Amino acid sequence: MAAPVPFDPLIFTDDYLRVRAVPTCHTSTFVWCHSAADKGADWQFMVAPLRALGHCNHIAFIFPYLDYSAPNDPAIRAKNEALVQKIVDEEIVKGCHPDRVAVGGYNEGLAVALLATLADPKNTINGVLGITERLALPSLAGVCRDANAQTPVFVVDRSGADGNEGTKALEAAGHPVRAVVDGSKNASSGANPVTQEELEKLDTFVHEVLPVEFAKKE
């Protein structure tokens, strides 16, 4: 009898890095979009501290490889948004219910996640979550589709400004921004762009949007 294949938590594709859920626990998927200053795989570090908080063993994390080579090029922005929508589609086709899917990101990545979600014509996911100090959004006129008109947005805002301009744009468009909390008062140290304090705040949102359900095999 052949020896069982060891469980490999990492799956690499041309489009993303996937960190699989703990074996037999997968019920949910969280797509996290990197900023212009980093790469998708750079965010693999966030999985262990989030799981250590006890709420994320059932979640598969997907880190897309986005293109910020020409940030003002509408075609590049559309390509990034299409990739996020494609990943969400694939997760649903594989059996993950839309209300067990969330997307999010850091700085420019949060903007990609938001625009991809707002423009999605069919998949109503359960939330958009992110950490940002500069949430810049273009005009939302004509962008928002009915599918995610009420999908909640949770933001850890470290800008220190009187209201983040991106969240103001969402509110002006009538979109529910259900939680905007201050980011860490202490700058991140070391290689990681976010602090443990900010990850703990993000975990609070994740636990609300993707709570633990009955386990199933991935």
Per cent of the chain over pLDDT 90 is 55
Lowest mean pLDDT among 59-68, 84-93, 191-200, 204-213: 191-200
Sign for the pseudo-dihedral over CA of 138, 181, 57, 93: negative
CA-closest candidate to residue 59, choices 203, 167, 212: 212
Task: Provide the CATH number for the domain formed by 10-209 in this structure.
Answer: 3.40.50.1820
| 70-81 pLDDT, tens digit each | 988 989 999 999
* pLDDT band, very low/low/confident/very high, at 160 (cuts 50, 70, 90): low
120 contacts 98 by C-beta, under 8 angstroms: no
Per cent of the chain over pLDDT 70 is 82
Residue 142's φ and ψ, nearest 5 degrees, are 80, 0
* pLDDT band, very low/low/confident/very high, at 132 (cuts 50, 70, 90): confident
**pTM, full prediction:** 0.89
